Amino acid sequence: MAPLPISSIRVGKIDDVQELIKSKPNKVPERFIREEYERGVVVSSLKTHHLHHQIPVIDLSKLSKPYTDDFFFEILKLSQACEDWGFFQVINHGIEVEVVEDIEKVATEFFDMPLEEKKKYPMEPGTVQGYGQAFIFSEDQKLDWCNMFALGVHPPQIRNPKLWPSKPAGFSENLEDYSKEIRKLCKRLLKYIAISLGLKEERFEKMFGEAVQAVRMNYYPPCSSPDLVLGLSPHSDGSALTVLQQSKNSCVGLQVLKDNTWVPVLPLPNGLVINIGDTIEVLTNGKYKSVEHRAVTNREKERLTIVTFYAPNYEVEIEPMSELVDDETNPCKYRSYNHGDYSYHYVSNKLQGKKSLDFAKILN
């Protein structure tokens, strides 16, 4: 899974958005301004209040007591969420509040450091670890109103130790603690998703091998013209599951494409937002679909998110599970492929909705 040769990629000048708002708070450079058809929507608070409740909420405490009425009801809700939305929130997930607050604290402190300090951990063109902007492959490509800091976490061999920062104090330790808890959560969720599909609960864990886990911290500063830019371009995730934590007091920024409408998602207090990735779509032969989503910005408020991507080992061969394929009623929709190859394909292209999944589709 080597990155693209850096010498072959010319990305042009990429402005750091935090520095932009310090020097020119009322100016949006041309490279950030989107075409009218793809611009963000400024969502009113009334509309936000109405819509965010439509995102399904799964109470994991009800799944801790197997085979009760509450358990089966919550499994049904989970199945419907995965099938109808591809997104849901989890509450009572069992991760200590201190662990969540600690990772949020060090992430905030990292983005608050001087630019010269953050530039010690650069995200080189064609790679997806380090500080900067990912998925940029040309000098004229539009930029997102966002700064990113991304790291490979597990297994250890996917890490780039040079990119793990020495500052702020406690960053690595807090990230390790947080990532271990998120890994446990993802294993639990995959167990429940397997049950919701009528499969043995250990089906995914056995298939995934030593799962790959990466984290990306996204900082979205205020923008003087939020209607002209996007915080993050529309895309689906190449992972199996994605876990999003939004910092307290952040503005609404995540939007999910549902029935051709961008629906804003307001994370619940102490909740986590989960979405189905391309890998689960393929494994379930399209029963559970990855969903296009994006981030928009706010004129006055910043937003910080910590996003974990959980996926099979790069050596695993991926194809629709035989239990979910029927030649007559539900024929195979995706070809077999190596997950490492798909991951390389995903990170080697700009974010364009669900276009990356064309890699796996069987064209009739």
Per residue in 166-208, pLDDT (tens digit) is 999 999 999 999 999 999 999 999 999 999 999 999 999 999 9
Give residue 52's pLDDT band: very low, low, confident or very high (50, 70, 90): very low
What pLDDT does 250 receive? 83
Q: Within its chain, how far is the Cα of 270 from the centroid?
A: 18
**Under a CB-based contact definition with an 8 Å cutoff, are residues 264 and 255 in contact?**
yes
Between 78-92, 253-267, 297-311, the lowest mean confidence (pLDDT) is in: 253-267
For the stretch 95-105, pLDDT in tens is 999 999 999 99
Q: Give pLDDT tens digits for 20-42.
A: 999 888 899 989 898 888 876 54
Q: What is the pLDDT of residue 364?
A: 66
In terms of C-beta distances under 8 Å and separation of at least 24 residues, what long-range contacts does 16-21 make, across chains too?
16/115, 16/147, 17/145, 17/146, 17/147, 17/221, 17/223, 18/111, 18/115, 18/147, 18/219, 18/221, 19/115, 20/221, 21/221, 21/222, 21/223, 21/224
Q: pTM for the whole thing?
A: 0.93
Distance of CA 243 to CAs 76, 201, 276, 280, 334, Å?
21, 20, 9, 14, 25
d(CA 127, CA 50): 39
Of 15, 251, 296, which Cα lies nearest the Cα of 147? 15
